[in-house]
Each structure stands twice: as C-alpha cells, then as structure tokens.
A = this chain, B = another copy of it.
Amino acid sequence: MGDKRGVLIVLSGPSGAGKSTVIAGMMKRRGDVRFSVSATTRPARPGETDGKDYFFLTREAFDELVARDAFLEHAEYVGNCYGTPAQPVEESLAAGWNVLLDIEVQGAAQVMAKRPDAVSVFLCPPSLAELERRLRGRGTDPEEKILGRLARARREYPLAKNYTYIVVNDDADKAAAELDAIITAELCRSEKRLAFIEKGDRSI
C-alpha cells in the first residue's frame, strides 16, 4: 500500500439481505478495507464513541458542512441528519485504503453522481420469498415492520441495475468471496495499474 490509491466501494442492499454477515466475511479475507464513519446530529448513545461510531455534530455544524458541499451524501431521517463526510474518505483512499460505504439506495445514488470512480455493489437475497422467510425467521419484528421492509425491498430492487455489480446472497461465504473478488478486480483495472507501473523503479 501507500503507492497506490484505494477503491471507494458503495454497498447497498435491503434489510434481510445479510449485509453485515457478508461484510464481516469479506473483512476477514482482506486487511486493506476501512469503513467510512458517518456524521450525525442525533445524540450519542451510551457506549458510542465520537469519531468511531459516528462523528457527532450539532445541527449548525452539520448544516455548515452541507453548505460547503463537504458530504458525499446526506439525508434527514426522523428529525436527525446523517451524512458521509468526504474528507476522511479521501484521506483514506489517498493512503491506499479501500473504503467501504454501507449505505441505502438514495445515499448511494448521491455518491455515484458525485464520484463516478466509485464502485457500487447491490447485495440481494436470492428471491423476495427468501427475504420474507429471513425477516420472519428473526422472530423479533412486528408484522407491520416486516411488511414495510418487504414493500421497501420491492421498490428498491429495480435500482439494482444502477449499480456496477450485483451480489446474490444465497450463501454468505460465496457472497463474501464475490465482494472480495470485486475489490481485487477493481484494483487490477488498467487505469489504476498504469499509474503504479509507470512509477519509479517498477517502470516497464
């Protein structure tokens, strides 16, 4: 690392697609990926650390960052603002880290518009029937919430085509291996490798 720039990865997927398991599996396979830390105006909960779980900001500070176009994406959700500050992402990429943004579809669309170099991945369950089975299998959510999530998944599926890649999670290990392979392949793109190859003693 250090002499090549990392890849910015945008990952979306409906609740129940198994995103956290797949991300954990990919992280176990490689040591060159960092999560982006979001900023929020909601108060910190017990145990949350500023700069690690979130950057906790006042509404004023958040709005100032919005005005300065300092977010890759931002949104308001039940009265609180959330956003991805561009600068820490940029610093990590420049230092050679691959940066993962785990983000819902609207935020992902904002990032893709701002950063055409971002690699986007849509994670989906093998079918809506399987998604429903998984959501019910948790046994914790009220019926209303499950139906809401299914409706949302149905709405969001057509957006999968806007992503660079689609990973179908019918097996979490296989899905993690695919996410891993996507990052490896993106690092092999000739645009990225040429800069590396043309440099100093590695020149050919």
Question: Using a CB–CB distance below 8 Å, which chain A residues touch chain B?
Answer: 121-122, 124-128, 131, 153, 157, 160-168, 177-178, 180-182, 184-186, 188-190, 193-194, 196-197, 201-204
- Residues of B within 8 Å of A177, CB to CB, are 184
Q: Distance in Å from the Cβ of A182 to the closest Cβ of chain B? A: 5
Among B127, B163, B194, point to the contact of A201 (Cβ < 8 A).
Answer: B127
CB-CB nearest 10 A-B residue pairs: A185-B185, A181-B184, A166-B193, A181-B181, A165-B188, A182-B185, A166-B190, A128-B204, A181-B185, A127-B204
A82 to B188, CA, bound (A): 30
- Residues of B within 8 Å of A194, CB to CB, are 160-161, 166
Q: Please tell me if the beta carbons of A203 and B127 are within 8 angstroms of each other in the complex.
A: yes
- A190: nearest chain-B partner, CB-CB: B166
- Residues of B within 8 Å of A165, CB to CB, are 185, 188-190, 193
Q: Please tell me if the beta carbons of A178 and B168 are within 8 angstroms of each other in the complex.
A: no
- Residues of B within 8 Å of A121, CB to CB, are 188
Q: Please tell me if the beta carbons of B163 and A190 are within 8 angstroms of each other in the complex.
A: yes
Which residue, A161, A182, A185, A201, has most C-beta atoms of chain B within 10 A? A185
- A14: nearest chain-B partner, CB-CB: B204
- Residues of B within 8 Å of A186, CB to CB, are 185
- Residues of B within 8 Å of A204, CB to CB, are 124-128, 131, 153, 157
Q: Please tell me if the beta carbons of A188 and B166 are within 8 angstroms of each other in the complex.
A: yes
